[in-house]
Structure 1
Amino acid sequence: MTVLVTLATTLGLTLTLLTAAARPAAAAVDLLSQGRPVTTSSTEMPSTPASAAVDGDSRTRWSSSFSDPQWLTVDLGATATISQVVLRWEAAYARAFRIQTSDNGTTWTTIHSTTTSTGGVQTLDVDGQGRYVRIHATQRGTAYGYSLWEFQVYGSLDGIPPGTGIPDPTTASLEAANGPLTTATYAVPSPSGYGSGTVTYPTASGSYPGVVLMPGYQGTQQNLEWLAPRLASWGFVVINVGTNTLTDDPESRGRQITAAGTQLLALGNAPGNPISGKLNGTLGAAGHSMGGGGVMAALRDDPRFRAGVPTAPYHRDPNFSGVTDPTFFLTCQSDPVAHGNDYAVPWYNSMSQAEKLYIEVPGDHLCPMTGYGNKAKQGKWIVSFFSHWLRADTRFGPFLCGSQRDADKNNTDLVIRWIDTCPF
Structure 2
Amino acid sequence: MTALIGLATTIGLALTLLTAAAPPAAAADLLSQGKPATSSSTENASTPTSAAVDGNTGTRWSSTFSDPQWLSIDLGATAAISQVVLRWEAAYARAFQIQTSDNGTTWATIYSTTTSTGGAQTLDVNGHGRYVRFQGTRRGTAYGYSLWEFQVYGSGEDTPPAGDIPDPTTASLEAADGPLITATCTVPGPTGYGSGTVTYPTNSGSYPGVVLMPGYQGTQQNLQWLAPRLASWGFVVINVGTNTLTDDPASRGRQITAAGTQLLALGDTTGNPMSGKLNGTLGAVGHSMGGGGVMAALRDDSRFRAGVPTAPYYPNVNFSAVTDPTFFLTCQSDPVAHGDTYAVPWYNSMSQAEKLYIEVPGDHLCPMTGSGNKAKQGKWIVSFLSLWLRADTRFSPFLCGPVRDADRNNTSLVTRWMDTCSF
TM-score normalized by the length of structure 2: 0.69
Aligned match of 2:144: none
| Pairs within 5 Å for 1:277-296 | 277-296=276-295
SS at match of 2:297: helix
Aligned match of 1:342: 341
Question: 1: distance between equivalents of 2:277 and 2:318?
Answer: 34
SS at match of 1:219: coil
Contact 1:269 1:277 in 2 (8 A): yes
Which amino acid is 1:294 matched to?
Answer: G
Which amino acid is 2:263 matched to?
Answer: L
State the structure with more CA Rg. Answer: 2
Aligned match of 1:325: 324
Contact 1:187 1:199 in 2 (8 A): yes
CA positional deviation for 1:160: 2.8
SS at match of 2:403: helix
Aligned match of 1:178: 177
Aligned match of 1:274: 273
SS at match of 2:94: strand
For 1:380-406, what per-residue CA distance to the aligned partner results, in whole angstroms no more than 9, with x for missing partners? 000000000000000000100111100
Question: 2: distance between equivalents of 1:312 and 1:110?
Answer: 45
Contact 2:99 2:135 in 1 (8 A): no
Which amino acid is 2:257 matched to?
Answer: T
Relative to structure 1, is the Cα distance of residues 386 and 117 closer, same or farther in structure 2, using a 3 angstrom cutoff?
Answer: farther
Contact 2:311 2:364 in 1 (8 A): yes
For 1:38-57, what per-residue CA distance to the aligned partner results, in whole angstroms no more than 9, with x for missing partners? xxxxxxxxxxxxxxxxxxxx
| Pairs within 5 Å for 1:159-308 | 160-308=159-307
Relative to structure 1, is the Cα distance of residues 296 and 80 closer, same or farther in structure 2, using a 3 angstrom cutoff?
Answer: closer
Aligned match of 1:389: 388
Q: Number of paired residues?
A: 326
SS at match of 1:342: coil
Question: 2: distance between equivalents of 1:340 and 1:172?
Answer: 29
Contact 1:224 1:370 in 2 (8 A): yes
Stretches of structure 2 that go unaligned for 5 or more consecutive residues are 1-31, 38-66, 69-77, 85-91, 101-108, 142-153
Contact 2:36 2:323 in 1 (8 A): no
SS at match of 1:366: coil
Question: 2: distance between equivalents of 1:386 and 1:127?
Answer: 31
CA positional deviation for 1:94: 5.2
Question: 2: distance between equivalents of 1:138 and 1:365?
Answer: 46
Contact 2:96 2:112 in 1 (8 A): no
Which amino acid is 2:226 matched to?
Answer: L
Aligned match of 1:45: none
Say which of 23, 34, 41 aligns to 1:25. 34
SS at match of 1:401: coil
Aligned match of 1:140: 138
Question: 2: distance between equivalents of 1:171 and 1:157?
Answer: 28
CA positional deviation for 1:141: 1.8
Contact 1:208 1:280 in 2 (8 A): yes
| Pairs within 5 Å for 1:26-65 | 26=35
Contact 2:94 2:114 in 1 (8 A): no
Identity value in percent: 77
Relative to structure 1, is the Cα distance of residues 400 and 158 closer, same or farther in structure 2, using a 3 angstrom cutoff?
Answer: closer
Aligned match of 2:43: none
Contact 2:210 2:285 in 1 (8 A): yes
SS at match of 1:253: helix
| Pairs within 5 Å for 1:143-154 | none
Contact 1:27 1:389 in 2 (8 A): no
Higher share of residues assigned helix: 2
Stretches of structure 1 that go unaligned for 5 or more consecutive residues are 1-22, 29-61, 64-78, 86-92, 102-107, 119-124, 144-154
Question: 2: distance between equivalents of 1:191 and 1:115?
Answer: 46
More deviation, 155-164/333-342? 155-164
Question: 1: distance between equivalents of 2:194 and 2:255?
Answer: 9
Question: 2: distance between equivalents of 1:415 and 1:280?
Answer: 34
Question: 2: distance between equivalents of 1:230 and 1:180?
Answer: 9
Relative to structure 1, is the Cα distance of residues 375 and 245 closer, same or farther in structure 2, using a 3 angstrom cutoff?
Answer: same
Question: 2: distance between equivalents of 1:367 and 1:127?
Answer: 50
Contact 1:94 1:137 in 2 (8 A): no
SS at match of 1:205: coil
CA root-mean-square deviation: 3.7
For 1:78-128, what per-residue CA distance to the aligned partner results, in whole angstroms no more than 9, with x for missing partners? x9845999xxxxxxx953434378xxxxxx97599994779xxxxxx9984
For 1:167-203, what per-residue CA distance to the aligned partner results, in whole angstroms no more than 9, with x for missing partners? 0000000000000000000100100000000000000
Contact 1:81 1:159 in 2 (8 A): no
Question: 2: distance between equivalents of 1:254 and 1:315?
Answer: 11
TM-score normalized by the length of structure 1: 0.69
Relative to structure 1, is the Cα distance of residues 24 and 310 closer, same or farther in structure 2, using a 3 angstrom cutoff?
Answer: farther
Which amino acid is 1:252 matched to?
Answer: S
SS at match of 1:397: helix
Contact 2:111 2:125 in 1 (8 A): no
SS at match of 2:210: strand
Which amino acid is 1:375 matched to?
Answer: K
SS at match of 1:369: coil
SS at match of 2:336: coil
Aligned match of 1:419: 418
Contact 1:27 1:392 in 2 (8 A): no
